[in-house]
Structure 1
Amino acid sequence: MTTLTAPEVLTRCRALVRPALREAVGRLHPWVGEMAAYSFGWCEVGGTPADASGGKGVRQALAVLGAESAGAPAQAGVPAAVAVELVHVFSLLHDDVMDADATRRGRPTVWKAYGTGPAVLTGDALFALAVETLADSGAGAVRLLSTALRDLVRGQADDLLFATRPWRGPEQVGTQEYRVMAEGKTGALLGCAAALGALLGGAPPADVAALDRAGRHLGVAFQIVDDVLGIWGDPLVTGKPVHGDLRERKKTFPVLAALAAPTPAAARLTRLLASDADPEEVAALVEKCGGRAAALVEARRHMASAESVEALRPLLDHLLRRDL
């Protein structure tokens, strides 16, 4: 049997899920549906059809792979894929509002294109639609999604609170706190995608739980790689402004790891972060303190934990190496 590459797996799963995803979005109020379609890259402002990037569809693929790991046909994972993708985009819409991000994947964010209120409303609609999508799949499926949502909100809350804490001292953010935050903010939904697909595919509880754990490790690795790209990635590839996270002084893993280094350079980094220093200078010092290298080591460690579940292996190396 021919083994598909990670991009081929993602393409296959997106093609399988997209009709059901479009059908779900089509049930929304027309105006809200337009904003949702814009967020997926299906149209421009005003509704003109477009084919912009709506993301790689990682969560969709995890749900389909989870169903297939249970011996079920790929189609069994489609409701799970639709539900988690709707929740993912809901979280991005609200995240962009909270972070005041003006662009995503090279386009104006929904709140920037349509307004803050409409963007929040669209996110709420997608959340409700996700729950509706699983309504016929049983209480266990809704419970899995609800647990992931609770953890996602907890992770997002921690991420917002990190911004209020100092770079040094008893209240500084540690790398372990970051891991907990990333597991909730990013890992919970990745774990839910794989576990939910397996549940709908008829997998036993132990297998469902193992996929959830592996997906959460994958999420931590995914978030750390995002942090690295946010500092050193090519904006033409990432769709985000260069050094955007440093300009906002976000407490990302490379920065936190660099601050933990017992070197004079780390003390200088603290002073730079507390000033209006040029982000390029800050990025160079983060790398000098070992922040970039430590982040990649940590990402690989969590990826190795995810590799223990065979169903996720087709995507792992691709997700860790993306655009680095």
Structure 2
Amino acid sequence: MRRVAGYHLGWWDADGGGEPAPAGKALRPALVLLSAAATGGSPRESVPAAVAVELAHNFSLLHDDVMDGDTTRRHRPTAWHQFGIGAAILAGDALLTLALDVLAASGYPAAGRGMRMLSAAVQDLVDGQSADMAFEQRDAVGVSECEDMAAHKTAALIGCSCALGALFGGADDEQVRRMRLFGEHLGLAFQHVDDLLGIWGDPAATGKPVYSDLRNRKKSLPVVSALASGTAAGAELAALYAGTAPLSDPELERAAALVEAAGGREWSRTEADALLTRALDQLRDTAVRGMPAVELEALARMVTDRDH
């Protein structure tokens, strides 16, 4: 499991050696450390919480790649494609167990509360992933349903990251609550941007093939908005999505154009901007000060920049 997990994390190649590979953004642990500092605590003391959320996140990625059948992540084969489905699932299980163990072993007075917070966020994540999978079998999915799914699948763990950082930083309950809200709004904005990149992102930056979400007929936020638009473009997109044969390159290009023509691309752009504004409002209302607060705002703007 160590070899599989280390490969997934980019620490070594499939044989357990070689040069490290590109790793993830480490967004969630960065949010933990900055949230701790912004609420007056020590980033060093919050390291166990930062480690725990990154391990939990990577548990979800290992399982997500299996469920989606994705063969590439971060410019190289996914763990399941390299080692097999069973090994990837077990590696994900190991990382989630380790995440809770890291919190338990931290010795921090609020470690028990932190474990419950992380456990609740993972339950939300699993619920969101379950809904996402169920959407694949349905012809019609409502926009509000899709937003609720994303709030569970993505925003819950990002909100938990900010709340855990504040908790380990010694913040009071109101600050912890507001930091969670900041993270949840940011997480949903991040998902809108991620879904846009899943269609129009540069493979050199995303590490995934062009039109990857459309190739999987994924009902992402901009796609669901387009399908529910009541437009001719939305109807044509629905017909493409209703098929079972793999979409050809011209069909994928057409599907992307239809999402845009039906307003899905602009809707997700607008929603991401509005959610970022709400996140930053919560951050300012949390009474955080100093350079960590400035860095939190800069990080929020960076991860919702559609050019990244």
Give me the TM-score of the superposition, normalised by structure 1. 0.86
| Preserved CA contact (<8 Å) 1:44 1:50 | yes
Name the CA distance, whole Å, in 1 between partners of 2:237 and 2:103. Answer: 48
Match of 1:247 in 2: 215
The Cα shift of 1:269 comes to 2.3
Match of 1:235 in 2: 203
Which deviates more, 98-107 or 262-271?
Answer: 262-271
Match of 1:139 in 2: 112
| Preserved CA contact (<8 Å) 1:237 1:323 | no
Structure 1 outlier segments of 4+, above 3 Å:
none
| Secondary structure, aligned partner of 2:218 | coil
Of residues 123, 128, 131, the one that matches 2:92 is 123
Name the CA distance, whole Å, in 2 between partners of 1:47 and 1:259. Answer: 45
The answer for unaligned runs of 5 or more in structure 2 is 285-292
| Preserved CA contact (<8 Å) 2:13 2:20 | no
Q: Letter of the aligned partner of 1:320 in structure 2?
A: T
Aligned pairs for 1:53-132 (under 5 A) are: 53-132=22-101
Which deviates more, 132-141 or 260-269?
Answer: 260-269
The Cα shift of 1:322 comes to 4.4
Name the CA distance, whole Å, in 1 between partners of 2:238 and 2:71. Answer: 28
Give yes or no for the alignment of 1:50 onto 2:19: yes
The Cα shift of 1:316 comes to 1.4
Give me the TM-score of the superposition, normalised by structure 2. 0.90
| Preserved CA contact (<8 Å) 1:76 1:197 | no
The Cα shift of 1:120 comes to 1.0
Of residues 292, 303, 313, the one that matches 2:297 is 313
> Which structure has more RCO (C-alpha within 8 Å, separation ≥ 6)?
2
Name the CA distance, whole Å, in 1 between partners of 2:14 and 2:53. Answer: 25
Q: Aligned-residue CA RMSD in angstroms?
A: 1.3
Name the CA distance, whole Å, in 2 between partners of 1:258 and 1:174. Answer: 11
Aligned residues between the structures: 288
Of residues 244, 253, 271, the one that matches 1:298 is 271
Q: Letter of the aligned partner of 2:100 in structure 1?
A: V
Name the CA distance, whole Å, in 1 between partners of 2:233 and 2:157. Answer: 37
Name the CA distance, whole Å, in 2 between partners of 1:254 and 1:244. Answer: 14
Name the CA distance, whole Å, in 2 between partners of 1:273 and 1:190. Answer: 30
Which deviates more, 313-322 or 175-184?
Answer: 313-322
Match of 2:165 in 1: 197
Give yes or no for the alignment of 1:40 onto 2:40: no
Q: Letter of the aligned partner of 2:147 in structure 1?
A: R
The Cα shift of 1:314 comes to 2.2
Name the CA distance, whole Å, in 2 between partners of 1:292 and 1:252. Answer: 11
Q: Letter of the aligned partner of 1:158 in structure 2?
A: A
